[in-house]
Structures are given as C-alpha cells and as structure tokens.
Chains A and B, each alone.
Chain A
Amino acid sequence: MNWADLNLMPALPEIFLLAALSFILVLDLFIPDEKRDVTYGLSLLTLAACAALQLATFEPFATTTFSGMFVDDPMADIIKVAMYGVTAAVLVYTRQYVADRGMFRGEYYTLSLFALLGMNVMVSSSHFLTLYIGLELLSLALYALIALRRDSAAGTEAAMKYFVLGALASGMLLYGMSMVYGATGSLAISEIAAAIASGHSNAVLLVFGLVFLVAGLAFKLGAVPFHMWVPDVYQGSPTAVTLMLGAAPKLAAFVFIIRILVQGMGELSGDWQGMLVLIAALSMMIGNVAAIAQTNIKRMLAYSTISHMGFLLLGLLAANEQGYASAMFYAMVYVLTTLAGFGVLLALSHAGFECEKLEDLKGLNQRNSWYAFLMLLVMFSMAGIPPLAGFYAKFAVIKSVVDLGAVNMGFGMVSALYLAVFAVMMSLVGAFYYLRVVKNMYFDDKQSDAPIVVRGEMKVLLSVNALALLVLGVLPQGLIELCIEAMRQSLAVL
C-alpha cells in the first residue's frame, strides 16, 4: 500500500465517527451521573456532524479507498444519512425510557454509536472481509445493548439467544464466503463478479457458497425459515433496544444483500431468485399469520417485521434496477414506520410501566388523541393502505414483481401474477392485526388515566416522524426518485 496516495476522503464520516465516539467514551468517565445529558447531547451532535460530512463529501459516483476494500457510492451515502437520522431519532425517543430504567449511562450511547459504525462499515464495504467486520461490530454492540439491564432476566435471555443464533448465522456467512473464495480466488466483490462472469469458476462450489450466504443473510434479516430469534429478541429486549435493533440495522442489511447478491453474484441471479421466492413467500405468510395470535405488541411487531422483510425480498427478486429501487424504498419506509410505531410505545411507557400489551393501547384516543392519531398513521402505513407511505412501498414492490413476469420469459407472467396475488392476500391478512391495534385505541374505553408525559424534543420529532408517513403518502415522488437514482448510479460502475 502506498500511503502517500491514500485518499481517506470517502471514509471521512466513519473516521470522524470513530474519533468522536472514542472521545465520548473517555469523556463520559469523568461525567457525574446527573450531568449525563452531556453524553446524550454530544452523541446527537456527533450524528449531526456525521450527516453533514456525509453530504459534504457526496459524489454522484462510487469512490474507493483502502485498496478497494471500502466503497463510497450514492446508495451508501443515502443509506448512511438515513441511518444517522434514524439513530438520532432512536436516541431522542429513548432518552426518558432509559433514564427511567437505570440505563441512562455512557455505555448506552457509546454502544449505540459503535453499532452505527459497524453498520456504516457494512454499507460501505466492497470486500467480504470488511463486510464481515462491519457485521460483527454491529452484532457485538447489539448483544451488549440487549443485556444492558443485567438484572432483567428477559433481557439476558434475549441477548443469549441473539448471541448464539447470531454466531451461528455469522458462521454460515463465513462458510459461504470461504466457498466463494475457493471458487473465485478472491474476496473483493468486484473481482468475484468478474470471476463469475468469466465462467472459469467452479459452479457447484459457487452455488453451495451462495446457499450458505443466502441462509446467513436471511438469518440477519429475520426471514423465514431463519426467523426464530426475532420474536423472542424483540420481546425480551428493553423497548429502547428493540427499536435500535429493528430500525437502522434493516437498512444496513438491505445494502448487505445488495453488495453480496447483486454486486457480487448478480450473474447467479437465476439461482438466488428461486431461493428468495421461497423465503419471501414464507416470510409473508408465517409473519402475518403468526402476528394475529400475539397479545404482546412488541412480539406482534416482530412477526410483522418478518412479513415486511418478505415484501422487501420480493423487490430484490425482480433483479433489475427498478426492483432494487423499490426494495430500497420499502426499507426506508419500513424503518420510518417502525421508528414512529416504537416511538409511540416508548412515549406511553413510563417509570415502572412498560407499554407492551395490546390492551395497554386501549382508549388511547380518549387519553391523548394526538398520539392515537400518530399510531393510527403508523398502523395504516404498515397495512399498506393509501394515502400512507406504506402503500407505495408495497405497490412498487408488487409492480416490480409483475414487471419481472412481463420481461423475464423464464419466470413467466402467470407465476408473477400468482406471486403478486399471494402477496396482496398476505397483506390482507396483515391488515387484520393492524386494524386490531386501531380498534383498541379508538373503539375501546380507556383503562388507565395515567398522564402521558413526553419530553418536548421527542414530541416534536415523533410528530414529524409519523406525519412524514402521510406526507410521503401524498407526495412520494421525491423519495422514489432518490432511490431509483441511487441504484442507477451505484450499480452502473460495477
């Protein structure tokens, strides 16, 4: 490596993030408990600075650094800016919640930033090793976050489950990567793509590797049949961490899939499409059907996440730019919706009370019609009812599936339409349990008179967050265009 020519600009936000978080880590040691808000404020400032740096270094094409192991392309830029925003929102939403539960400590903030750094590395990696390092950095931070309340049995159990199953998934990913390495002789994504395209690599070994990679990805995404950990971890973790786990990492996982399956193994799309069809269909079905039986909202949202991941995979299935863009749009909207949904749950929780049962939402409209309205937007968006953003997400994905049928003769219009009809029927099943939440909030009488006290900054941000679903539902053009452009510019170079 020639150090003189090393251009660190593409990785500038990550370098800054690492420096800032190390600073916060050290500084926090000297901050007394009652001044912990300094840590909180500095973390938010760091995120804002990162976003500014990201935008300042934006280039409408891909640039690489660290001998091509790290790539900065428009897709990564957009996803990273979104992740900074999401992480900041998570910190704001959870501020009171963690304070009420003895988790308002420096570790909570530094671990969150470490998780973000891991995601950033994942999003920007163009090499299997960086990808893996990023993933492990994220996972290790999350394991610790889930277990942050040492005295909580549920939290510890969730952390243990997540750790064991996560390690298994990482193992599968590594195994798959090693097979691909064996077949192509490289771990760099562009070289793998070139080797596969040349047709000289061992096809059997490649497909074997692909199977392990897809299994590992499905595991991380929480798609059926590798979904078992999702409900338990969602339910067991403190709601603050569930939000951390369910929001930004889904964006990172989406890019992870694009990097491996599309940029690395795009030539093998015929092989992975078949697997994704099954995983997507099963996820939509099992996620939606199992969610009906839940009485715990966090668990219900976990199953709903599984079904949403199924929808997201449908977009990837189309294996063209439109399809990837629709999946990216889906991921963005999903994260925005989840954020607002858990945000309301956090707003309703207070010291000594966890809002996590379906009954806890009863009569919310009587207690506070504004939060009920925000949650209503979230639920109808998840159900995919217009005019909310969730509708366009589902619509774009289903359209890309039919598109696949219209273009790809091998797949066929009839099977595409079957899949589309199956998908909409599953979203009908899903509508039921989202409606039940609305029913609890609006039709039932309140069971508690506990005042809902929410910090000012959270009130504003949560309102903006949920109303964005409505605004994006009426005017979705901008975000859709952004996703299409990002995909076009990022995939063009490789």
Chain B
Amino acid sequence: MLSNLLSLVIWVPIAAGLLVLATGGDQRAVLARWLALAGAALGFLVSLPLFLNFDVLNAGMQFEEMRPWIAALNINYHLGVDGISMLFIVLNSFITLMVVLAGWEVIQKRVAQYMAAFLIMSGLINGAFAALDAILFYVFFEAMLIPMYLIIGVWGGPRRVYASIKFFLYTLLGSLLMLVAFIYLYFAAGKTFSILAFQDLMAIPLNVQILLFIAFFMSFAVKVPMWPVHTWLPDAHVEAPTGGSMVLAAITLKIGAYGFLRFALPILPDASRELAPIIVGLSLVAVVYIGLVALVQTDMKKLVAYSSISHMGFVTLGFFLFAGNELNVWAVEGAIVQMVSHGFVSAAMFFCIGVMYDRVHSRNIADYGGVANKMPIFAAFMVLFAMANSGLPATSGFVGEFMVIMGAVQVNFWVAALAALTLIFGAAYTLWMVKRVIFGEVGNHHVEELKDVNKREFLVLAVLALTVLGMGLYPQAFVDKMHLSVNDLIAHVAQSKL
C-alpha cells in the first residue's frame, strides 16, 4: 500500500472525478456532490501518510515509484517526493476538499461536471508535484489547463471567455518553450528525461544555461505569475467561480514557484546566479508596485488577486537571494513556508469573498459596508484571514515573510528594506478593504438582509482558520519536513556546472 501511495494520491481523485462525471445531468446533482465529497476526502486521506510517514532524515526522494511508460522514447512513470513537493501534495489534497465544500449548493448548473473538473485537476496537480520524469511532469502540468479552462469558461463571470482563453494561451506559451528545453536536456543528459539526471548533469556552458533558463523562466514566471507577465491572473481570478479562484491562488501558482525549485535552480545554477539580480528586481517590482496596484482596486477579488501576485513576488525573491555561490537557507525556507501559508490564506480570502458574493452578487467594495453588524461570525473569520494576509505575527502569513526578510538582510540590506515594505502595503490594502466592507454602518439594503454563515460555510472557515493559526504558532512542523531537502537543493545550486 505504501509503495503505491503516490499513485493513489494521483489516481484516486481522477477516478473519483470520472465517477462523478458518470452521474450525468443535474437531476442527480445531490449524488454528484456527495460522491465528489467522498472522493475528495479519500484523496486527502491517502495523502496524509505522505506527511506522517515522511522521513525527515532522508534528503533524497521518498515513496518512489518507477515503471517504464513509453519505452520507445525512454519516458518513465517515475514518481517521488522530497520535503518540498510532499507539502504541496498534502496542501492540494486539503484545498480540494475545501473547494468541493465551497461549491456545494452555490453551483447549481452542471454540478457533476464542476465537481469532476476539480477532482481531476487535483489529481493532475498532485501528479505534477510528484513527477520525477520531465515528460511525465509536462503531461500533468499541461493537462491541468484543460479542466481549469473549462472551470473559468463555464462557471465564470461575464468576461469569462476572454479570461479563460487568455489564461490558456498565456500558460501554454511558456510550457511549450519548456518542452523544447526538456528535449534539449534529454540529449545533453544522455537520452533520459529523468529530472534527477538533469540535476546531476555536469558541464553546461553558460550561454546554453541562460537560454534554457529563459525557456524555464517563460513557463514558470507566467504560472507564478511574476511581473510583467502577471496580467492573466487578475482576469482569470475575477471571472473564475469561487472554487476556481481558490485552486488557482492556493495551488496552481505554487506549481510555477515549485518549478523554479525543481528545474531552474538545480539544473541551471550558473544561469540562476547570473540572472538572479533580474529575478530579484522583478520580484521587488511585484512586491512594491503590485502592492500599490492592489491598494486602488475597487473589486475585492481583483484586490486579493493582486495581493497574491505581490505575495508570490516574495516567494521568488526568497528563491534567488544569492550570497556568492550559496542561496540563503532562511530565504528559501521562508519562501516555501510563504507558499504553503499563502495557499491557506488566499483560499480562505477567496472563500470569504465567495460567501459574500453568493448573498449580494457583487464583488465591489462600494456595495458593502458594515457586514459585521449582520454577519458577526463571518466577520470574525474574515478579519482573522485579513490579518494573516497582511502578515500579523501568530498567523501563518507572518512566518514566511519574516524568514525571507531575515534572509534578505543577510544578503543585501536594501533588498530587505524594499521587501519589508510588503508588510506595510499588505496591511494597508487588506485592512482598508476590511474596514470598508466589514466595519462601519450598514451600507445598504442588501447588507441589511444578509444572513450569517451556514454550517457548511462555518466548517470551511473554521478548518481554514485552524490551519492558519496552527501554522503561525508552530511552523516547525512544516519547516522540519523540508529542512534537509532545502539544504540538499542549496548544495546542488552551489555547485557550478561551468
């Protein structure tokens, strides 16, 4: 059972998704919902042993599976996780469960297709995190575009068609270049697509490394998204249904950042070092400029979307803080913690907005005011998540940002100073939004008629709140898991391939 754990984590949600799809039209929507919930719960359950049985003293790949898949092209079904990817698989399986609950009665048309799309995507995402063969990774990485495209396009808002096509083409552009890079590396590494072999590849000239880095960068930077290729994200987020936004922000963005850790940094250490100042610069632009952009948004979803870009800027910043040959361990671990934390917090924020949207059918900040008067329980949760989003100590948001800033101070004071601005901007845009939406007098008759959260919504909010607090109070549980893997990564990056 344990030897096939990763396969289970991938295929259980996909099988459940197909089963849900088979329930057919909306006359059996109830069945579809419960099946989807069961599938998502099962998917989460099978992912738990990954976390619990993970050997923190082993820096290598664990739970490995290896089978020939397309022998003619030397492509293997090779799975395995280290302390970094394991966290995201568990995070994804958890968020999928939340997403199914979030869409429970909100989605009324084509329920089975909606639930199935999320379950299938969950399996594909797990596959991308677990893949140790470049083509296997690529297959999962690209395949998840299909359900996401449908989720945005079918259940999205008014400009959903534009947003979904933009999302698809933007991300496809990057990944196709990455595919060519993979094929090049295949020949360079002696006819193998093994990611580990790519990482151990010796002697790649700097100009080749830089070209390959650009190919990877195009793919992952779009996914993260980094400034200036971030423009698809606000569109996609705003138009996507609540569940779509949750998965996008919590998980799919992380795959981009994960790509830097798995491919760009260890395979191309010298190009990473050479180009690090550019990445750091772009990340700072994201942190500072996008933070300011978030401040002026009038649409809540857009605001949180821009806040995601700003937070992800923090992540990429942490990945590329070189001191000499060495990456800064604080910064890398902080960035990973930030990724996990942002997964919880952004999912929670989008869920909160979804809760209000379901009642008022508006995302405009101006259409609210004084929600706390009518929805006190909801308001308490929303304020908590807003605090976490702005990095208040004792919430998960604080830990990652603090660690990255600590690392940055060791490398370059001014980078750290600029990065620290995020604590101010983050607090400014989030809290200002909360002030306008939650507090004050009851704004209009729509707010007057609001009813507080129901049991289902309370459950989702409470579970998310517990994780956010838990991670803020005891981050060690996560950091311990990744510590050796991060050290291993840093050792890899420190080794020049010139």
* Interface residues in chain A, defined as those with a beta carbon under 8 Å from any beta carbon in chain B: 365, 369, 376, 380, 385-387, 391-392, 395-396, 398-399, 402-403, 406, 417, 420-421, 424-425, 427-428, 431-432, 435-436, 438-439, 442-443, 476-477, 480-481, 484
Contact = CB atoms under 8 A, between A and B. Distances in A.
Contact of B146 (A385, A476, A480): A385
Contact of B70 (A438, A439, A476): A476
B169 interface: yes
Given A403-B187, A435-B149, A480-B72, A428 B173 contact: yes
Contact of B183 (A398, A442, A443): A398
A318 to B, nearest CB: 13
A292 B177 CA distance: 22
B142 A402 contact: no
A325 to B, nearest CB: 8
Contacts of B70: 392, 476-477, 480
B153 A443 contact: yes
A247 B146 CA distance: 26
A376 B113 CA distance: 14
Contacts of A399: 73, 183, 186
A435 B168 contact: yes
B161 A402 contact: no
B169 A387 contact: no
Contacts of A427: 176
B71 to A, nearest CB: 6
A402 to B, nearest CB: 5
Nearest to A398: B183
Which secondary structure dominates where chain B touches chain A?
helix
A387 B72 contact: no
Given A476-B70, A477-B70, A481-B72, A398 B180 contact: yes
Contacts of B177: 421, 424
B154 interface: yes
Contacts, number: 90
A396 B138 CA distance: 14
Contacts of A432: 165, 169
Contacts of A385: 142-143, 145-146, 172
A435 B170 CA distance: 13
A443 B187 contact: no
Nearest to B69: A477
B432 interface: no
Contacts of B172: 385, 428, 431
A420 B180 contact: yes
A380 B146 CA distance: 8
Interface residues of B, number: 35
Tell me which of A385, A392, A398, A436 has the highest count of chain B C-beta atoms within 10 A of its own C-beta: A385
Contacts of A396: 73
Nearest to A477: B70
Nearest to B127: A387
Contacts of B154: 365, 442-443
A398 to B, nearest CB: 6
A79 B353 CA distance: 57
A386 B142 contact: yes
A439 B183 contact: no
A155 B153 CA distance: 37
B139 interface: yes
Contact of A435 (B72, B165, B186): B165
B367 to A, nearest CB: 26
Contact of B164 (A369, A439, A477): A439
B428 interface: no
List 3 A-B pairs, minimum CB-CB distance, nearest first. Answer: A424-B176, A386-B139, A443-B153
B168 A391 contact: no
B276 interface: no
A425 B172 CA distance: 10
A443 B169 contact: no
Contacts of A481: 71-72
Nearest to A373: B21
Interface string B121-154: 0000000000000010011001101100110011
A369 to B, nearest CB: 7
11 contacts: A376-B146, A385-B172, A387-B139, A391-B142, A402-B183, A403-B187, A417-B184, A420-B183, A424-B177, A442-B153, A480-B72
Contacts of A476: 70
B262 interface: no
Nearest to B112: A369
B301 interface: no
A283 to B, nearest CB: 18
A476 B75 CA distance: 11
B73 A480 contact: yes
Contacts of B160: 443
Nearest to A383: B172
B165 A439 contact: yes
Given A420-B183, A477-B69, A480-B72, 19 more contacts: A369-B113, A385-B146, A386-B138, A386-B142, A386-B143, A391-B142, A395-B135, A396-B73, A398-B180, A399-B73, A402-B184, A417-B180, A417-B184, A424-B177, A428-B176, A435-B165, A443-B161, A477-B71, A481-B72
